[in-house]
Structure 1
Amino acid sequence: MARGENVFQRKDGRYEARYIKGRRADGRPLYGFCYGRTYEEAKDKADRARERIEQTEPAAQKAKPGQRPDMACFCDRWLSANSARLKPSSRAKYRTDIENHIKPFFGDKLPGEILPEEIDGFTRSLLTGKGLSPKTVRSILTLFHSILSYTGKRSGGKLPDVEITYPKSFRKNTRVLDEKEESALVQLLAQEMDACKFGVYLALRTGMRIGEICALRWCDISFEAAAISVCHTALRLPRGNVCQADPDRPSAAAGDDGGALALSRTELVIGTPKSESSLRLIPLMPDIATLCERFRPEEPEAFLLTGTDRCMDPRKLQRHLKKYLEECGIPEAHFHTLRHTFATRCVEAGFDVKTLSEILGHSNIGITMNLYVHPNLDLKRENMNRLKSLFPL
């Protein structure tokens, strides 16, 4: 049985540790294997193998003879060193932040030359010059801090500590459909319901993300257990950043948009959900189970929204939702609004927060309470009225 990350005990009693030693032309990982009589021995061998790979960096990431490596070089080294542990979507985001923000500002500087005043100027340029939100700027600064820490370790700890001041981030009131809007949307979805309307309704009644809906196959639905197994997500990544999380499902052939999208700079892929906590089982409500039986095809490997082996692009489902919302006269809403609405209705119905957190796929209940639970005024008033018995006039 497994005792740690990518370390397993074999039937012969030995331990096997797996590590990524390279990548194929399509971005899929090539694995190396180390063996040992104990868990620690196998893990130690794999760790040493990873270190050797990290030390053997591409020539493009090394400084020229007689030239000290600048921050652009260390940014590339950091991305290469952490590539194996990052999800494809995270790796693509970090690469974009590095190329679009960090390198243009700090790329030609030596690590020891960066001053706190320059970092403050970098922060101001992101906030005012580029108009990024404080939350996005905090994310970029956190990435920059990680690169600086990595650079310091590679420099023998000789770099001075640089303090980073993070901008304050104010939580916005998340958009939730009120009862009238939700009722209007449900009535529209019920009229001549097709696969796309079913997908939107499923999101509204389960809190699933748009990528999880698009990647859902009929074999992921257990009619015996009356539950949905969320184990994949569909996402669009820049070409060259694709690293399939499931070798048995290497790619997602686009649906009706496939021909046009094939020429784009991005690629639709099937990967694992956002985090380990996002791998979850969601019980089916009776009406959802009935609809599943209605749309159920003969081929269990078919995707839920298309009934074929071709995955629907999340952007197409988003366009369908936008059309439905316009027909209902519902403003300023997007697909994630359905997830917020589901969570809020669950709290209003008296859901146990721990149960709701697991249904949504959160790692802790704090995320559920802070990000997705938005009591309305009526619910607040109901709770305040409970104090009457404690404070009589």
Structure 2
Amino acid sequence: MARRGENIYKRKDGRWEGRYIKGRQNNGRIHYGYIYGYKYSEVKHQLILKKYEKQTNDSKKLLPYEGKLLDWTNYWLETFVRPKVKSSTFASYKNKMDVHVLSRIGSIKLQKLKQSDLTSLLEKMDETLKASSIRSIFSVLKNCLGKAISLNLLTENPCMGVELPKTKKKTVQALSIKDQAKLVKEINTNQKFFSIMLALQTGLRIGEICGLKWEDIDFENNTLGVNRTVLRIQTEDTAGRKTEIVEVTPKSSNSQRKIPITKTLRKNLLELKKVSTSEYVISNKHKALEPRTIAYRFQIIRKKIGLEKFSFHSLRHTFATRCLEAGGNIATISSLLGHSSTKMTLDCYTNSFFTEERQLVEKLEFV
């Protein structure tokens, strides 16, 4: 039941639902907006804010816009997103909106879009997508609708108040020392699998390995520069949707970095350079190899030696774990990996600290 004099109700799922007048339809019927929360006080506070916003917004009329969410999204992507971001980022935004949002609610008129539409969309996504993917999609949608607000096409963002699923902490999958030795033994004599060795000894991402050129390697100072990454992205042409390989700068300023290399890796690189006919370190004759070719080669090896549960990205985690085991501090490892912050590194590798934590606590043992 609602509390006396208030449009706040307790739902069967345990949440509180607050209802407020959002506007009126052309036929005069009231159009309601809804707020959800697990605490009554939170919903009540949000309703007070909504009433204040409505009083403020009533004084300014929305610009007339008859377009659908699909029309607005395409305009937003082409006008405000494409000129400011990398082609890979644009392709990612467009794919998220096309596949997961517009295919389901794109036909709804922008100014008729309600929070309940997005709640239904979320429920559909929740059936097949991970929490992290859902949050990523809603982040793009929220930005898209936020721009409509700034242009006075919407008074509020329907994404606000939609309760997104919580993400679970990722667990790092790194090879044990025994499994790493087994892998190295299998690939050590075949240059076709040199990309695997590079990942194990540098922690480079798969796209960074594909984009590595000989000009990036300083053999005098034994360093390797990460200056670009190779990706396969979705594009569109007159024939319809397809994919293409693009070469872009690393994902962030921290990703563009220099990594010291061991004497063994330096020796292996020099041997490979003698027979190379390409500007790329990992190549197919003259062209750079693409990420899925490298991933496929790793798939062949891992099945052969019984490491099916590991992905190519596990090699990056393995590098970081070996650095931790060798006594590396978190700031240094974060820099080697090109993480945006030490917090990101700590979040990824907390489990890898367990041995060190045990050793530390044992030193505190009272005699």
Same fold (TM over 0.5): yes
Mapping of 1:25-174 within 5 angstroms? 68-80=66-78, 81-128=80-127, 131-155=128-152, 158-159=155-156, 162-174=160-172
SS in 2 for 1:69: coil
TM-score of the pair, normalised by structure 2? 0.76
**Of the candidates 266, 284, 290, which is equivalent to residue 289 of structure 1?**
266
The answer to whether the Cα contact below 8 Å between 1:217 and 1:304 also exists between their aligned partners in 2 is yes
State whether residues 88 and 233 of structure 2, in contact with CA within 8 Å, keep that contact through their aligned partners in structure 1.
yes
1:365 corresponding residue in structure 2: 342
- Shift, 1:350, TM fit: 1.4
Is residue 333 from structure 1 mapped to residue 310 from structure 2 by the alignment? yes
SS in 1 for 2:245: strand
Contact 2:225/2:257 (CA < 8 Å) preserved in 1?
yes
Give the superposition deviation at 1:100. 1.1
Cα deviation digits, residues 111-136 of structure 1 (max 9, x gap) = 332322222211111011xx100110
Q: Which residue of 1 aligns with 2:50?
A: none
Match of 2:173 in 1: 175
Aligned CA distance change for structure 1 residues 67 and 307 (closer, same or farther; 3 Å): closer
Q: What amino acid is the match of 1:136? A: S
Q: 1:320-362 deviations in whole A, cap 9, x for unaligned?
A: 1112212222121111000011111111211122121111111
Shift of 1:228: 0.5
The separation in 2 between residues aligned to 1:269 and 1:377, in whole angstroms, is 40
Q: Structure 2: any 5+ residue segments left out of the alignment?
A: 1-63
Say whether residues 1:218 and 2:214 are aligned partners. yes
The aligned residue for residue 63 of structure 1 is none
Q: How does 1:5-20 map to 2 (within 5 A)?
A: none
CA contact (8 A) 1:215 1:232 kept: yes
**1:347–1:373: structure 2 CA closer, same or farther, 3 Å change rule?**
farther
Specify the alignment match of 1:270 in structure 2: 247
- Structure 2 CA distance for partners of 1:187 and 1:160, relative to 1, 3 Å: closer
Match of 1:384 among 353, 361, 366: 361
SS at match of 1:166: coil
**Distance across 2 between alignment mates of 1:206 and 1:373:** 20
Report what 2:324 is aligned to: 347
User: Is the CA contact 1:209–1:339 (under 8 Å) kept in the aligned structure 2?
Assistant: yes
CA drift at 1:110: 2.7
Quote the residue 1:47 is aligned against: none
Deviations 1:220-250 (A, max 9, x none): 1011121001101111122349xxxxxxxxx
The verdict on how the C-alpha distance between 1:264 and 1:222 changes in structure 2, with shifts beyond 3 A counting, is farther
CA distance in 1, matches of 2:284, 2:260: 22
Identity %: 27
> What is the distance in 1 between the residues matched to 2:348 and 2:317?
8
In structure 2, the residue matched to 1:302 is 279
Per-residue deviation, 1:374: 3.5
Contact 2:142–2:157 (8 Å) recurs in 1: no
Offset at 1:87?
A: 1.6
Contact 1:236–1:267 at 8 Å: present in 2 too?
A: yes
Question: What secondary structure sits across from 1:375 in the alignment?
Answer: helix
Corresponding residue SS for 1:176: coil
Looking at structure 2, the residues matched to 318 and 328 of structure 1 have their Cα atoms a distance apart, in angstroms, of 16
How many angstroms apart in 2 are the aligned matches of 1:284 and 1:164?
A: 48
- Unaligned segments of structure 1, at least 5 residues: 1-65, 242-262
Offset at residue 211 of structure 1 (A): 1.1
Residues 70/285 of structure 1: CA separation in 2 closer, same or farther (3 Å cut): same
Counterpart CA distance in 1 for 2:118 and 2:213 is 47
Query: What TM-score comes out, normalization by structure 1 length?
Result: 0.71
What is the aligned partner in structure 1 of residue 37 from structure 2? Answer: none
Q: Name whichever of 377-386 and 208-217 sits farther off.
A: 377-386
Q: Cα distance, 1:274 vs. partner?
A: 1.7
Q: In the aligned structure 1, how far is the partner of 2:349 from the partner of 2:75?
A: 37
What secondary structure, in the 3-state scheme, does the structure 2 residue paired with 1:200 have?
helix
Helix, strand or coil at the partner of 1:85:
coil
Give matches, 1:308-323, under 5 Å: 308-323=285-300
User: Which of 1 and 2 has greater Rg?
Assistant: 2
Q: Does the 8 A contact of 2:210 with 2:289 survive in 1?
A: yes
**What are the Cα deviations for residues 126-168 of structure 1, in whole angstroms up to 9, with x where unaligned?**
011xx10011001111111111111111126634664221111
- Give 1:183's aligned amino acid: A
1:232 aligns to 2:228 (yes or no): yes
Tell me which residue corresponds to 2:16.
none
Q: Is the 1:218–1:300 Cα contact (8 Å) retained in structure 2? A: no
1:20-71 C-alpha deviation (Å, 9 max, x unpaired): xxxxxxxxxxxxxxxxxxxxxxxxxxxxxxxxxxxxxxxxxxxxxx961221
Q: SS of the counterpart of 1:266?
A: strand
Cα deviation 1:61-95 (Å, max 9, x = unaligned): xxxxx961221121112212111222211111111
Name 2:4's counterpart in structure 1: none
Distance 1:264 1:137 in 2: 23
Residue 280 of structure 1 corresponds to 257
Offset, 1:373: 5.2
